[in-house]
Structure 1
């Protein structure tokens, strides 16, 4: 703990407020044009980046129900320009008091995947509604009612879901059909809707109005909470009114470290992203990546990924309950030792690294990035985990419940839906928050600032890493979010890649080093990034072209 306090003290000495003039304009990049526009509507009404973040977050809950929503959780990473305050608002879901890991096992004692990802038992207590209220009250300028107005209008008047949303409904049709509330909302006439279908969600509009009028109590207490608990129990879950009433966001000190003369500010536990990002960049800081060819560089990046994900599996969990060696894992000295174990020409088999201790541990997440005219920054990643979460909609509420219980290590060593393993540090216990890969991040240099993040399940952290490295190489936000991607997560011991991420010659050279490659057909993630040249005042944004409706605007 002494070493952690020392690390935070050193981080506090680093420059965190901007000496340069504010940009005068704002930049927002999100996964949907309607959400980006909602953010600008609130800015035009006199709001700041944090009011806009509330508006964008709530609008995405309406127009991207497959990815996130008020039935899920979020991390809001904020930088307040006037005093340099930087904090992570942790709105991760929590496990109900009645949580019992054995409930997720089958008769043979093996993990029952259906129970962990589908139905009421898969859902943790949502945190996003609490975050909307907290961010508006503590960092915004406008009343919550004003910031939620665009989302309420979208829910009531309706919108045409894009092709990506319709595809996800098709993928989850069988599970959605199990639940009366979900099927009534997303399967009109019992079928997957076609292009041009207009989704109107008056129940969600009323739920958002309740939050706007009554704040935290509107969701977590009273008649609405009673309705939620009854609906979850009917769907096989184990929530109680006490679980909802006890929910609170946590403000946490971000992970802060230096890379190539820039300060990186990123998510702390219960996100594993910031620690893993620090570990990987600290390892890579010992190499001049610009002087290496693509194969040599990829090899070193993969070896850094391998080691960071190994430590993720062993050490990380809910910081309110688990003691973690944060200072050690983010230390340059620790990274130097890991770097020394990397052979420059040969892959390190994952099974040759020390195994995780036993015991000691969404693809459809969404992310948006904001810089406002005052220089405030917001990087927000939010999720219901898998597409449409648990595929449960409590009648009268209008939103899907998350399936974040699968992010716990429900059985030590058993991989979750993303193939990640864990042990006791991430075991499911009442009130605990499951380990996350969400990695909203700021990179702040002498003249430039980057705000970045992405969905992508276990690949989130490595995508953010690759985006940051590309930015240092000179890529603009649109280019870095569109680049082809690769990923390694310790186990399985495979470099997974997007299609055509490497040339045949590069694949052959990596295989000769001992790497195993697996090329997929589907693209990954949906990155959204904005940057600001504080010397020239230029703002730029990029929204991943892998999406259908993503929009980055500067105004």
Structure 2
């Protein structure tokens, strides 16, 4: 435990940290020439050492965060700087045009606090947002449109986090990313592949084509992609603060782009305008709120409360699993119970989760052990459940032996798999788990002209129409409403001290990725990097469970099929990052080995560690 809180850092120390960060990053005025980018930092799925840790999907972004920590910044400073860098190098997953959820642990007070920075629907939106002539729009038409763009929450989240817990200004936190955008980054195979997925859409928007299709072509692997427009946008935001985005010229440009999408006149695509207005940006606010919390085997597991469904769904599933000795179970039994707990929790998620500002969300009931026991008794040791499974009622769980559900199952809404997650710990023991997104890979496909960032398509996370008049749906659009999310940034405490934090991209598979990684680590004893690398299964109250190749090709699949489970092959589920506090006080940063090309785990002062990972994958 540290002896002081970063928020209590003396003015002299804070000024010194700002000065050091400024010296490290420079500014356009100090560096009139744009040098070629140096070789990108190497990727590593694991790092162990002292002084703090950063884990993200990108080596440039993780290097930015580590440099902030090395120069005296705290976990929040590093998290915002890392997120801004991801807006440069991972623009199809995150950036100023999106939103997310920020979970913060303060070691000085032992308190976990969250920021809901989710996008909001326009104040003019209603349940018919995605209906034309009484029928839902085709999904792809809704995605690439102004209709899908929610009021971004990312700039407000960064400013709110720094104001509450940071030791540097927004301007200082953005400066490394500003410099990175100006000098550029090296295109890898994953970036080129994601660009190719979006090529047809990008060509229909001149600003997107100019930025992401240099000279009209896909960027070559090994080439340098620069974004001077984003560098200027970051510089403006740093100087003027959030008002520049929500009330100033950036607000004007965002509104104009949504209301009259700048489509190439030769494009055949019909791009519907949205109804986002200046009043929507002025009215936007982040929400500081208490996290979800459950006790799991004597540990405190904190997650994100609604409007995210992550904390409640992960929490309910863990509560269901509490009755089993998952560590001692044979791996077929362990996977069977994990799959069933997830199936049940998703059935309840579909019925009850929405924006609590607009819906009556029974968060406490969903997280109660009584409700978990009433739902968990559905699980049989020798036979799989079938989906769609009816939801339970957390307001009236009933007899734990009744094992019943009530009403019809809600359908699983589609969520884009883009998104990104970063995890940071500092030398004082503070921790941040932050998941941010623009929804689809490439968001709406619409770049704000001259500003260098894509707009989200987050409103497609709403249900487009009620599935059935008799099935209540808390996730229909509404004025100023936040769409339901699956983002699940999670922090685990033991005796008041953070010992684990993690999260993942992946749409609704975020929840199952976080849940399975927790089970692997907390129950099956895998070190965090091994828990992340293990092959995954994802059951979300659907007829079939997704399996990655490592499980699909394993004998365990046949044994699970003998119980009645049905499977479909998925090449990849999620892409987690996290940090683990080791018993000797060092930090382990963990990231993916292969998924999305591998992640980037770094620590400030690396120390030697065994290459063998405790715990073996399924």
Q: Decide: shared fold, TM above 0.5.
A: yes
Distance change in 2, residues 1:146/1:164 (3 Å): same
Q: Give the Cα separation in 2 of the matches to 1:323 and 1:111.
A: 27
- Judge conservation of contact 1:313–1:356 (CA < 8 Å) in 2: no
Q: C-alpha displacement at 1:54, in angstroms? A: 0.7
- Structure with more helix by fraction: 1
Aligned equivalent of 1:143, options 169, 191, 195:
169
Aligned residue number for residue 449 of structure 2: 395
Aligned residue number for residue 330 of structure 1: 367
> 2:575 aligned with 1:526, yes or no?
yes
Q: C-alpha displacement at 1:19, in angstroms? A: 9.7
**Deviations 1:379-432, CA, capped at 9 Å, x for gaps:** 000001110100000211110001101111121239xxxxxxx95311111111
Which has the higher mean CA deviation after the structures are superposed, 60-69 or 21-30?
21-30
Aligned residue number for residue 302 of structure 1: 339
Larger Rg: 2
Q: 1:429-448 alignment to 2 at 5 Å? A: 429-446=478-495
Aligned equivalent of 2:422, options 355, 359, 368:
368
Q: C-alpha displacement at 1:261, in angstroms? A: 1.0
| Partner secondary structure for residue 401 of structure 1 | coil
Aligned residue number for residue 487 of structure 1: 538
Aligned equivalent of 2:587, options 515, 534, 539:
539
Q: 1:88-487 alignment to 2 at 5 Å? A: 88-107=114-133, 109-235=135-261, 236-351=273-388, 353=390, 354-356=406-408, 362-413=416-467, 424-446=473-495, 449-472=499-522, 473-487=524-538
> 2:555 aligned with 1:500, yes or no?
no
| Partner secondary structure for residue 224 of structure 2 | coil
Q: Give the Cα separation in 1 of the matches to 2:145 and 2:440.
A: 12
- Judge conservation of contact 2:159–2:170 (CA < 8 Å) in 1: yes
Aligned residue number for residue 58 of structure 2: 32
| Partner secondary structure for residue 256 of structure 1 | strand
| Partner secondary structure for residue 263 of structure 1 | strand
Q: C-alpha displacement at 1:506, in angstroms? A: 2.0
**Deviations 1:105-132, CA, capped at 9 Å, x for gaps:** 3446134212321122111110001011
Q: Give the Cα separation in 2 of the matches to 1:443 and 1:529.
A: 11
- Judge conservation of contact 1:115–1:122 (CA < 8 Å) in 2: no
Q: C-alpha displacement at 1:80, in angstroms? A: 1.1
Q: C-alpha displacement at 1:294, in angstroms? A: 1.7
> 2:510 aligned with 1:510, yes or no?
no
Q: Give the Cα separation in 1 of the matches to 2:480 and 2:218.
A: 37
> 2:95 aligned with 1:77, yes or no?
no
Q: C-alpha displacement at 1:238, in angstroms? A: 1.5
Which has the higher mean CA deviation after the structures are superposed, 160-169 or 497-506?
497-506
Query: How many residues align structurally?
Result: 528
**Unmatched tracts of structure 1, length 5 or more:** 1-16, 415-421
- Judge conservation of contact 1:27–1:371 (CA < 8 Å) in 2: yes
Aligned residue number for residue 3 of structure 1: none
Q: Give the Cα separation in 1 of the matches to 2:142 and 2:330.
A: 43
What is the CA RMSD across the aligned residues, in angstroms?
Answer: 2.2
Q: Give the Cα separation in 1 of the matches to 2:407 and 2:203.
A: 41
Q: C-alpha displacement at 1:92, in angstroms? A: 0.3
Aligned residue number for residue 54 of structure 1: 80
Q: Give the Cα separation in 2 of the matches to 1:211 and 1:373.
A: 29
Q: C-alpha displacement at 1:500, in angstroms? A: 2.8
**Deviations 1:51-96, CA, capped at 9 Å, x for gaps:** 1111011110111001111100011100111222211111000001
Q: C-alpha displacement at 1:99, in angstroms? A: 2.0
Q: Give the Cα separation in 1 of the matches to 2:410 and 2:381.
A: 31
- Judge conservation of contact 1:39–1:53 (CA < 8 Å) in 2: yes
Which has the higher mean CA deviation after the structures are superposed, 477-486 or 373-382?
477-486
| Partner secondary structure for residue 289 of structure 1 | coil
Q: TM-score, normalised by structure 1?
A: 0.91
Aligned equivalent of 1:551, options 596, 600, 609:
600
Q: C-alpha displacement at 1:24, in angstroms? A: 5.3
Q: Give the Cα separation in 2 of the matches to 1:505 and 1:72.
A: 42
- Judge conservation of contact 1:21–1:537 (CA < 8 Å) in 2: no
Q: Give the Cα separation in 1 of the matches to 2:155 and 2:130.
A: 27
Q: Give the Cα separation in 1 of the matches to 2:231 and 2:479.
A: 31
